[in-house]
Amino acid sequence: MDEKELHIGEHQEQDEQNPVARELHTEEFLVNMGPQHPSTHGVCRLLLTMDGEVIVKVEPYIGYLHRAIEKICENRIYNQITPFMDRFEYVSSMLADWVYALCVERIGQIEVSPRAEYLRVIFGELQRIASHLIYWGVFAMDLGAVTPFLYGLREREMIMDLFEETCGQRLTYNYIRIGGVSQDINPGFEQKCKKFTSYMCQVLEDYETLLNENPIFLSRTKNIGVAPPELSVAYGVSGPSLRASGVNWDIRKDDPYGYYEKFEFEIPQGKNYDTWDRYQARVIEMRESCKIIEQALDGLPEGDPTFKMRASFKLPEGEYYARIESSRGEMGCYIVSKGEKKPYRLKLRGSSFNNLMIIPEISKGLKIADLVAIFASYDIIMPEVDR
Amino acid sequence: MGMVKDFFSGIYNLVVGLFVTGKHLGRHAITLQYPKERWEMPERSRGVVVLLSDPETGELNCTACLLCMKACPTGAIIIDREKNPETKRWFPTKFVIDNTICAFCGLCEESCNFDAIKLTGKYEFSVFDQSELIYDMDRLAELGRDVKYTPRKKPAAKKAAEQKKPPAEGKKPDEKKEDTAEKKPEEKPDKIETNPAEKKEEKAEASDKKTEDQESRKPEEAKQGDLGLDKEEDKKESGN
């Protein structure tokens, strides 16, 4: 960081020595990137202070997608909140459903049947793959490769079909409910799911041949946007982006929820802490998710996964927090209950907010094109930032 | 030399990438020519909300118990009802679903005990004027005419009620239905007792519940309740 700043300083000194440059004085200028810029993945406005082509300062302006979801939830009874969780994080809505259900279950000490827990793991991991597929496609698209986007969405379509036949919707699932899931899987779902995971493992190899040795892709990602472990922890970065920074932290392992203790999987860790590592962490995670799904399908117990919660119920007084490992990082739900039918306060933690805040720090001294790569590599989506 | 090496390795990787692309050339297209071809929607697909009617008599299955109205998170359902003086059975006089704020979450279908409301696989309902999206009872019933559905198994409470009542008393089938509709919400909480912490408060809550259920029987009061307020909020939000 310091070297880059020194470099800018030298550049200005040279200008002052040069008589022509002294007359044509250079100064910093402002560039608005967004809120409707395609590579800001939603409506995020970045105000860039530029010195020529070099970025001096990045200021994110957020709030363009604020829908007051927390306030809406505080006016609803507990059963009615789940549909809004789908809208809180619409790229991995299944996991958003899960964190809310988990929080209410912990408050009310509601037991979940083993089959429901297994189904949650299966659908949660399918959702993680679907989310990472979008990441993979969009990341490559932002760097100028069009093919991965089409391939990624094609594979995601299969997951969407699995979701649609089970819960009836493609984006706003409303599937994971308090105490269980809304419906049992259709007969034949397990075979379809196994077919998908084996297909996915094959396709991931194709993905790697497409990008992993591409010299343009490598030069755009290697040693760009280095985020050391200390800095990442200081900014509260979580998820694959944190693991790419060399920190071994995964809530599925370190603070297990559901039945994640029962499954064997590995956690990828980065060595260079750069954009490439953040990309690679997600590709490896997709493979690990396939492993988890296969284990869960093999051990799927019999029983009734649904749970009919009564229409309106009260939770005991107190403050509670539940968190899960979402596809982007730690997703949390914090409920303050006053013993009423509605939550007194409901706070949602989206990991994208913290992941966004580190970008100004690590993108100083780089070019705008590198900023696009860094922004895409952190997998930031705006509904989670603004809520 | 470095540059030459880079050049050739670049070319090589381009060929490898093109080989992957070439492998996919022989695949079938997964897209469809939309207006000509259509996907078959799965059975559980959640699209336009319809009101189902009895295929034999053609009357609506709805008994105007207002459970769907209470379950709706966005307040998209508005029901007015009256009691038939002869059969002493509630029936809806007004049943409006506001598709502009409907979230298609399916909670209304789940709360219904009489196969009266259903989310279907229909998805093409774009209109030029927003006000056309507010469907009234006739429209909803018309949409539900051709919808096939398997009648739900009779709920346990209903069976029990039937068994208790000797056939001589059960001359008025409509009245029987009405009874179960009212019993249902009261009986459910007793069955689901997973929470030991709540058990202690159960007695205190039970009195509350009774009053709530009584409220739900009066449509005027229910409308002025929380749901009505929520709906106004939603309208403001969608307006923004």
- pLDDT > 50? residue A355: yes
Q: Answer yes or no: is pLDDT of A386 > 80.
A: yes
Q: What distance in Å separates the CA atoms of residue A221 and residue A225, rounded to the nearest whole number?
A: 8
Q: What is the pLDDT of residues A329-338, one digit of tens each?
A: 899 999 998 8
Assess whether pLDDT exceeds 50 at residue A150.
Answer: yes
Residue A344 has pLDDT above 80, yes or no: yes
Question: CA-CA distances (angstroms) from residue A202 to A84, A142, A199, B12?
Answer: 36, 25, 5, 22
Q: Quickly list H helices, B59-111.
A: 67-71, 107-111
Whether the per-residue pLDDT at A9 is higher than 70: the answer is no
Burial A188-224, CB ≥16 within 10 A → b, else e = ebeeebeebbeebeebbeebeebbeebeebeebbeeb
Judged by CB atoms closer than 8 Å, whether chains meet at A109 and B21 is answered as: no
pLDDT recorded at residue B228? 38
| Residue A381 confidence (pLDDT) | 87
Indicate the pTM of the whole model: 0.77
pLDDT category at A15 given cuts 50, 70, 90 is low
What is the rounded CA–CA span in Å between residue A172 and residue A92? Answer: 9
Series of mean pLDDT values for 10-residue runs along chain B (240 residues): 80 80 79 85 86 80 85 88 84 87 87 85 86 86 79 54 45 42 41 42 44 43 40 42
Closest CA to A108 of A343, A349, A303, A347: A343
Mean pLDDT to the nearest integer, A31-51: 82
- Strand ranges in B89-183 using DSSP code E only, listed in sequence order: 89-98, 117-119, 134-135
Q: If you ran DSSP here, which 8-state letter would residue B157 be given? A: H
CB-closest option in A174, A308, A309 to B105: A174
Residue A302 tokens read as 């019999």
State both tokens at B32. Answer: 């469809």
Q: For chain B, positions 20-79, list CB contacts with chain A under 8 A.
A: 20-21, 23-24, 30, 42-46, 67, 70-73
Distance of CA B233 to the CA centre of its chain: 21
Of all residues in chain A, the one with the smallest CA distance to B229 is A75
Topology (CATH level 3) of domain B49-147 = Alpha-Beta Plaits (3.30.70)
Q: Closest to B192 (Cβ–Cβ): which among A164, A182, A308? A: A308
Q: Which of A354, A372, A387, A139 is nearest to A238 (CA)?
A: A354
For the cut 70, the answer to whether the pLDDT of residue A7 exceeds it is: no
Q: How confident is the model at residue A14 (pLDDT cuts 50, 70, 90)?
A: low
Q: Can you tell me the mean pLDDT for A91-97?
A: 89
Nearest to A76 among B16, B19, B73 (CB): B73
**In terms of Cα–Cα distance, which of A192, A316, A123 is closest to B199?**
A316
